[in-house]
Amino acid sequence: MAAHKPSLSDLRIDDRARYAGQGRIGIWLAAAVLIAAAGVGAWFWLRAPAAVPVRVAAVAEAESGRAGGAPAVLNASGYVTARRRATVSSKVTGKVIEVHVEEGMAVKQGQVLARLDDSTPRRYLELAQAELAASGRQAAEMEVRLRDAERTLARTRALVKDGIAGQAALDTAGADVDALTARLALTREQVGVAERQVAVRRTDVDDTVIRAPFSGVAISKDAQPGEMVSPVSAGGGFTRTGISTIVDMSSLEIEVDVNESYIQRVTSGQRVEATLDAYPDWHMPAHVITMVPTADRQKATVLVRIGFDALDPRILPDMGVKVAFLGAPEAPTSAASPRLSVPRPAVRTENGQTIVFVVVNDRVERRAVRVGDAKGDIVEIVTGLSVGERVVVDGPADLADGRKVDVR
């Protein structure tokens, strides 16, 4: 074989090998870039805050508290009272053997509430009835004897007329008739006394039955079987003075003490808005019944009686109540903007500013608002919201503007 001879072609570089190495390096660089991009995306995805669950409520128009827009000229507080209220007791001292009333029970007029031991009054009644029967029999005897004496007198008169008997016999027969007539009258009076005695003893028996003086509701049960009751307080504290307290629920009204400096703002028949402390969102129409024509010297107040326009089972005696005495209704204005309200939990305070979070799409918007009156769990919003917008009422304490939320 002939030996290889050097030539200029031997000095050229083989590009195929170089390009093959560069291709492998590019592939690795592209893969590294993709991996880095995926890592950065995953990092941002994991660091992004997740949607937090919240509960929302719609902004609504606030209900007007006073019909006709009548302004309040005076505010006061008082209590619900009953014009007919009685602690029922017995007329006699006795031992309770039965109690037929419980707290909260509705009773009718004349219904039996309790019974006392009537054994002794019944024995006295039986004795009086026996005395009446004896007096009746004695009167019957006197009537028989009187009729016999009258017949004897008639015979004596006939004998005297015929000259058989003397005047003395006639006088004696007449005296017997007069005596028996007087004794019969006395016996009849005794019968009347015995009848009255029976009535008294029967009343004593009836007094052992305690009845409701009027229809109403029992609000207390003050005695138990076995206890002694009395119409007057007895020493020692072992004797009850009442069986039960009855309240006529149809006689409920309001009593308030008005400072005498402002009593000129109150007139009879004036419209009143009453609000029970137990139901602060329930406004009841009422009216002034009268002002008691005397002032309390110690408190410098005048007692005002207020009647409910309509009664309700939720109104109970001795409940606290706030009243607003209303003046003349205000003239309606067409330019007046509607009053808005939101639940109290929707209103927050941050850095001395009152705010709410409004849900827009799936994110919250921090909104500054101005609030008005608050009644119970409802807060009036003067500015900052519109009817129908949704506000967050239950969400995390660190809720921030623009945070994504999940409405539950």
Q: What is the DSSP secondary-structure string of 72-106?
A: EEEEEEEEEEESSEEEE--SS-EEEEEE---TT-E
For residues 134 and 190, membership in a common domain is answered with yes
CATH label of the domain that carries residue 171: 1.20.120
Handedness of CA 156, 157, 163, 166 (dihedral sign): positive
What pLDDT was estimated at residue 337? 58
What pLDDT was estimated at residue 238? 63
Nearest alpha carbon to residue 92 among 200, 210, 214, 225: 210
Show the domain range for 152.
119-206
For residues 287 and 349, membership in a common domain is answered with no
- Position 33 in a domain: no
φ, ψ of residue 263 in degrees (nearest 5): -65, -20
Alpha carbons 37 and 42: distance in angstroms, whole number: 9
How many domains does the structure of the chain reveal? Answer: 4
Alpha carbons 320 and 322: distance in angstroms, whole number: 7
Neighbours of 47 (CB within 10 A): 7
For residues 279 and 165, membership in a common domain is answered with no
CATH label of the domain that carries residue 221: 2.40.50.100
Hey, which bits of 261-369 come out as E strands? 271-276, 283-296, 301-308, 320-326, 340-343, 348-350, 353-360, 363-368
HEC sequence for 127-187 = HHHHHHHHHHHHHHHHHHHHHHHHHHHHHHHHHHHCCCCCHHHHHHHHHHHHHHHHHHHHH
What pLDDT was estimated at residue 395? 86
Alpha carbons 191 and 199: distance in angstroms, whole number: 13
For residues 283 and 354, membership in a common domain is answered with no
What pLDDT was estimated at residue 99? 93
SS3 302: strand
When computed from its CA atoms, the radius of gyration of the chain, rounded to whole angstroms, is: 51
Q: Are 286 and 80 in contact (CB under 8 A)?
A: no
For residues 241 and 179, membership in a common domain is answered with no
Geometric angle at alpha carbon 387, from 386 and 390, rounded to 5°: 85
Q: What is the pTM of this model?
A: 0.55
Beta-strand pair 378-383/252-259: unpaired
- Position 11 in a domain: no
Q: Which residue carries 């969400």 as its tokens?
A: 395
What pLDDT was estimated at residue 214? 93
269: left (phi over 0), alpha (psi -120 to 50) or beta: left
Domain boundary among the residues 326, 359, 375 is at 326
- Position 32 in a domain: no
For residues 287 and 265, membership in a common domain is answered with yes
CA dist list (Å): 315 to 15, 273, 353, 385, 398: 104, 14, 39, 36, 43
Contacts of 384 (CB under 8 A, 6+ apart): 356, 367, 368, 369, 370
For residues 90 and 158, membership in a common domain is answered with no
For residues 108 and 213, membership in a common domain is answered with yes
What pLDDT was estimated at residue 240? 77
Q: What are the residue ranges in the chain where pLDDT is below 50?
A: 1, 19, 43-46, 48, 65, 67-68, 334-335
What pLDDT was estimated at residue 46? 46
Alpha carbons 261 and 304: distance in angstroms, whole number: 14
What pLDDT was estimated at residue 400? 86
- Position 219 in a domain: yes
Alpha carbons 268 and 59: distance in angstroms, whole number: 40
Domain boundary among the residues 326, 357, 379 is at 326
CATH label of the domain that carries residue 369: 2.40.420.20
Domain boundary among the residues 206, 232, 260 is at 206
CA dist list (Å): 257 to 273, 276, 284, 340, 361: 16, 16, 19, 34, 54
Structure tokens at 129: 């009835």
- Position 172 in a domain: yes
Alpha carbons 381 and 301: distance in angstroms, whole number: 36
For residues 224 and 108, membership in a common domain is answered with yes
- Position 331 in a domain: no
For residues 359 and 241, membership in a common domain is answered with no
Alpha carbons 128 and 126: distance in angstroms, whole number: 5
What pLDDT was estimated at residue 203? 92
Alpha carbons 133 and 127: distance in angstroms, whole number: 10
For residues 382 and 402, membership in a common domain is answered with yes
- Position 280 in a domain: yes
Question: CA dihedral defined by 177, 181, 184, 186, rounded to 10 degrees?
Answer: -130
- Position 371 in a domain: yes
Alpha carbons 223 and 95: distance in angstroms, whole number: 10
For residues 187 and 226, membership in a common domain is answered with no
